[in-house]
Copies of this chain bind each other. A is one copy, B any other.
Amino acid sequence: MTPKRRVDNLALFGGERLFSEPRHVNKPNSPPRELFDRYLDTAWSAAWFSNDGPLLRRFEARLCEQFDVRHCIVTCNATAALDIVLQALRLPPGGEVILPSYTFVSTANLLRLAGLKPVFCDIAADSMNADPEQCARLISSDTVAIIPTHVWGVPCDIDALEALSDQSGVPLLFDAAHAYGAVHGTRRIGGFGLAEIFSLHATKALHAFEGGIIATDDDALADDLRLRRNFGFSGNDQVDLPGVNAKMSEAHAAMGLANLDVFARTIAASRLCHETYEQGLRGIPGLVLRMPDPASQPNYHYVVAELDAQQFGMDRDTLTRLLFAENIWARRYFYPGVHRMTPHLPLAPQAPVSLPQTERACNRVLVLPAGAAIDLDDVRAICTLLRFISENAAVIAGRS
């Protein structure tokens, strides 16, 4: 890691890369290997590797305790989780589902495949979460569900959204993919809406290699989901409904349990990373870190910067290119916005959308390499580089 002294030292202009290997937005956490091995041992000795196994049950029970909910159904991944929830809700074909465009593309993809119509709502400028007023305006007689996301793990305006759901009778599901560990008021995320859906993908704060969680207090929904997760089987030869395979293996449950055991340490490490960025980027004009609210017990898993091109002296995409050249795989998020992605463009002519806050976030946000597994020296080097770029923004922008 040779610090840059001159603009020529930047990798984009032929200089040596800051890092020989890519630094990713979220390098997966690894628990101590022995911890994972010990969990897996029990599955291995019983040769019970899937199908409602003891590790899965233990994992689900611990998650129920964490969230203080009656049911946690873990799945092979979060997309499969949402898929069986949508099936369980038996939504009428063509029904409209309100969701932010400023989120991961999977939800809208799934809606399309399920014959439902994504209706994109704008976000609130401050939280980057679905704006309840915008959602309220989009509700029609065809609305069948609302699926906001707790973006960056910051809880949505839950009270307003629950009130909207109560008033309209439209079921509310939360995409909690980013939000493991966070609280709203005195209650953990996981306990709101009809159900909340978490991702346990390797790059998430809590992970199980791949996986998903559905948290709900609804007994009937939970029963239905357990059937749907396993082909609809309610007994050896009895299939009650057209279920799929959304099962989590015992190997994945073992990883989930191991990561749960060390989760306090994971958060502490991620917090240290976040604080290192806070210190290292302080005072850089036009580069503003989004600060998690300690009251919501954030998991500090994402380090999210907003770039004001004018103040910084360079636009976000130029900066991204500079960083990529250095092997810093900082990422535009959620770029370009789901409503501008190929599979969802055909919706636009029918339902032209004006999403000014979404566009603003899509064009300003840069997510930096972070998380519990990152080397803090790398973080400091990234901050030094960003400061160098800021100080030489005019020259660099002129050349790139």
Contact surface of A with B, Cβ cutoff 8 Å: 27-30, 33, 37, 44, 47-51, 76-80, 83, 87, 104-106, 108-110, 112-113, 115, 201-202, 207, 209-210, 231-232, 236-245, 247, 249-252, 255, 331-332, 335-336, 341-344, 373
By the criterion CB–CB under 8 Å, are A241 and B47 in contact?
Answer: no
Separation of A78 and B231 alpha carbons in the complex (Å): 12
By the criterion CB–CB under 8 Å, are B109 and A209 in contact?
Answer: no
By the criterion CB–CB under 8 Å, are B343 and A242 in contact?
Answer: yes
Of B106, B244, B251, which is within 8 A of A245 by CB?
B106
Separation of A120 and B115 alpha carbons in the complex (Å): 25
CB proximity of A106 to chain B, nearest CB, Å = 5
- Cross-chain pairs A/B with CB under 8 angstroms, 15 sampled: A30-B47, A49-B210, A50-B201, A50-B202, A50-B209, A76-B77, A106-B244, A108-B242, A109-B232, A113-B242, A232-B342, A237-B336, A239-B343, A241-B342, A241-B343
CB proximity of A256 to chain B, nearest CB, Å = 12
Separation of A30 and B243 alpha carbons in the complex (Å): 28
By the criterion CB–CB under 8 Å, are B115 and A115 in contact?
Answer: yes
CB proximity of A31 to chain B, nearest CB, Å = 10
Residue of B at shortest CB range from A254? B251
CB proximity of A105 to chain B, nearest CB, Å = 5
Chain B residue contacts of A344, Cβ below 8 A:
242
By the criterion CB–CB under 8 Å, are A202 and B113 in contact?
Answer: no
By the criterion CB–CB under 8 Å, are B244 and A50 in contact?
Answer: no
